[in-house]
């Protein structure tokens, strides 16, 4: 999910054309509708070009989230059929890119790819990003306090790619590679980062190879109305691969989408992120952010293990406007034996959704989350999961 602006929401509301039918629960636009709409010289069509198998949005953005404050930049999303000869069962691919500058003097750049090849025989899924990032750090564990807060800045480069091959209908398996470089780490001495057990305070480079298993029956990658998603991955970071830390990362991500008709969807997610070995502080499992546990600053709680779950009910209100109500809970610990019910964190929230591209189900909106002595407001495109 990516930050976008309130300006863009207003812009698309006023420039929106007649691509929506009167039935807000209809899932598709007919070819005749697409042709008629694309011929209209509206402001919307200048930013969004739709024709049969391709859609893209390129726009300025002005958003905010707790980790960055106000940010501005350029956002690009493209949805397309990778193969012109793909059959009707091959879902569409997409790429998402942005570059932003924030009021906290942070630079954020990212390119994400979900490339689905003909007949879904192969699936290339990746996330590559660079951050020059003044950040906040509270230490490790579930009981850190606000008094432990410490500013820290660094440069981060992350390259992660998964190449999967289909082993049967909706089942994929393959390899994953991840390279992470954290450099130019700067902070004032005398705080929690000076603890003897904090790894990576002078920078770190990790390089890991592993395996990935995926079951994916979702009907749409950007905004699922039905289906099940299960991803299990393991990444083994070794010095022999070019890094300077030995550690392993294991992730389980389970999502279920239950449809109650049209755009009324109950979305469920459970997430486990577990690390063993010499884990740099920036790569520990973190709670918070705009993906899960909205309302918490990303990294407010971190440790080797993070377990979290969330539930959303998504429903239309009027034509292309919808709402989402969510609840989430999670905690961090050094290992599974360290999980403790009193350490559980929680958030609840309400989100506004404005569908700017019905055929691809692309939403923009505003998410608000409230937790234990914390809250957050996010301008977003897409869904949290």
pLDDT in tens, 13-22: 333 333 333 3
pLDDT in tens, 77-104: 888 888 776 667 788 888 989 999 999 8
pLDDT in tens, 319-362: 999 999 999 999 999 999 999 999 999 999 999 999 988 888 88
Considering only residues 285 and 78, tell me which one the structure prediction assigns the higher pLDDT.
285
pLDDT in tens, 201-249: 999 999 999 999 999 999 998 899 999 999 999 999 999 999 999 999 9
Domain count, the chain: 1
pLDDT of 7 above 80:
no
- Cα separation, 275 vs 140, in Å, equals 13
CATH number for the domain including 334? 2.40.160.50
pLDDT class of 66 with cuts at 50, 70, 90 = confident
Mean pLDDT of the chain: 85
Portion of the chain with pLDDT greater than 70, in percent: 85
Cβ count near 272 (within 10 Å): 18
Tokens of 203: 């920078």
- Cα separation, 205 vs 75, in Å, equals 29
Portion of the chain with pLDDT greater than 90, in percent: 63
User: What burial letters (b/e) apply to 136-149, b meaning 16+ CB within 10 Å?
Assistant: ebbbbebebeeeee
pLDDT at 56: 76
pLDDT of 2 above 90:
no
pLDDT at 227: 97
Phi-psi region of 63 (alpha: psi -120 to 50; beta: other; left: phi over 0): beta
pLDDT at 324: 97
Domain coverage including residue 183 = 2-381
What's the pTM? 0.82
């Amino acid at each position: 999910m990516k930050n976008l602006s309130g300006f863009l929401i207003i812009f698309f509301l006023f420039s929106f054309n007649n691509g929506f039918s009167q039935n807000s629960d209809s899932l598709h636009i007919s070819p005749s509708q697409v042709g008629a709409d694309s011929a209209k010289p509206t402001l919307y069509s200048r930013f969004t070009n739709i024709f049969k198998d391709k859609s893209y949005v390129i726009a300025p953005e002005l958003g905010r989230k707790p980790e960055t404050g106000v940010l501005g930049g350029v956002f690009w999303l493209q949805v397309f059929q990778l193969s012109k000869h793909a059959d009707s069962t091959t879902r569409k691919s997409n790429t998402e890119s942005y570059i932003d500058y924030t009021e906290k003097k942070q630079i954020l750049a990212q390119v994400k790819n979900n490339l689905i090849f003909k007949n879904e025989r192969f699936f290339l899924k990746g996330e590559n990003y660079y951050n020059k990032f003044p950040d906040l750090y509270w230490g490790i564990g579930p009981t850190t306090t606000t008094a432990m807060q410490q500013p820290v800045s660094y440069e981060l480069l992350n390259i992660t790619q998964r190449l999967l091959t289909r082993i049967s209908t909706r089942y994929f398996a393959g390899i994953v590679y991840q390279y992470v470089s954290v450099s130019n780490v700067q902070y004032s001495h005398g705080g929690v980062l000076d603890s003897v057990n904090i790894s990576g305070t002078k920078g770190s480079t990790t390089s890991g190879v592993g395996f990935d298993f995926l079951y994916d029956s979702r009907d749409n990658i950007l905004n699922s109305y039905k289906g099940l998603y299960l991803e299990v991955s393991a990444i083994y970071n070794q010095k022999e691969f070019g890094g300077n830390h030995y550690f392993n990362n294991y992730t389980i991500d389970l999502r279920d989408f239950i449809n109650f008709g049209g755009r009324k969807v109950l979305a469920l997610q459970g997430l486990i992120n577990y690390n063993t070995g010499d884990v740099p502080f920036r790569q520990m499992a973190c709670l918070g952010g705009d993906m899960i546990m909205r309302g918490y600053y990303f990294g407010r709680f971190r440790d080797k293990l993070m377990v979290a779950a969330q539930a959303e009910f998504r429903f239309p209100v009027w034509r292309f406007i919808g709402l989402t109500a969510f609840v989430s809970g999670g905690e961090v610990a050094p290992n599974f034996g360290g999980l403790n019910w009193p350490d559980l964190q929680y958030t609840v929230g309400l989100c506004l959704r404005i569908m700017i591209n019905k055929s691809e189900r692309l939403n923009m909106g505003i998410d608000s989350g409230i937790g234990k002595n914390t809250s957050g407001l996010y301008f977003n495109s897409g869904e949290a999961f």
